[in-house]
């Protein structure tokens, strides 16, 4: 089983051009009606799930970093450039003890809450609008415009 898994993964050791050609071929096959778009989409979603499961695994990340560390910070390997670097850096300003920052963060949280409440209110306004008094002026409020993209949701079993 392990050799089969590794040989399957080796199918994806490709150049950028080969990957582009593979994608173009998939679209061509679909445009010619030679494949089931739903089955192709299921296969793509399964690939995404496999990638997510592997790349989010802590042991995988450790193996990868241990091996890459043997080659230095930046190196070429197979047909790729690898680079060890800090990613997703986050700062916790609450730990600074700065009263100005703490006040700003508190006001930001209050604003975020107020914005969410106002957005909920505006979503409930009828399409024809609603007149309201704002300071000394009569204003007509309208619901927000809504846009969406039609897509297919797939829940893998």
Q: What pLDDT, in 10s, does the model give residues 85-99?
A: 999 999 998 889 999
**Higher local confidence (pLDDT), 41 or 152:** 41
What is the pLDDT at residue 156? 86
* CB-based contact 60:66 (threshold 8 Å): no
User: CA–CA separation, 94 vs 101, rounded Å?
Assistant: 8
User: CA–CA separation, 12 vs 46, rounded Å?
Assistant: 15
Q: What is the mean pLDDT of the chain?
A: 92
Both tokens of residue 65?
Answer: 């970093």
Q: How confident is the model at residue 15 (pLDDT cuts 50, 70, 90)?
A: confident
Q: Structural domain boundaries of the chain? A: 2-83, 93-141
Q: Mean pLDDT throughout 9-35?
A: 91
Q: How confident is the model at residue 63 (pLDDT cuts 50, 70, 90)?
A: very high
What region does 125 belong to: left with phi over 0, alpha with psi -120 to 50, or beta? beta
Residue listed under structure tokens 């009569």: 138
* CB-based contact 156:49 (threshold 8 Å): yes
pTM exceeding 0.95: no
């Amino acid at each position: 089983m392990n050799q089969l898994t590794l040989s399957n993964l080796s199918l994806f050791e490709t150049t950028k051009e080969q990957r582009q050609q593979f994608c173009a071929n998939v679209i061509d096959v679909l445009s010619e009606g030679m494949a089931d778009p739903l089955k192709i989409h299921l296969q793509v979603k399964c690939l995404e799930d496999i990638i997510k499961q592997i790349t989010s695994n802590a042991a995988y990340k450790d193996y990868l970093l241990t091996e890459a560390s043997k080659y230095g910070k930046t190196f070429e390997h197979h047909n790729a450039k690898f680079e060890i670097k800090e990613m997703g850096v986050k700062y916790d300003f609450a730990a600074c003890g700065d009263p100005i920052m703490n006040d700003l963060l508190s006001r930001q949280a209050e604003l975020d809450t107020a914005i969410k409440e106002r957005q909920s209110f505006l979503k409930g306004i009828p399409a024809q609008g609603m007149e309201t008094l704002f300071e000394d002026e009569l204003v007509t409020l309208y619901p927000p415009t809504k846009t969406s993209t039609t897509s297919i949701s797939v829940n893998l079993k």
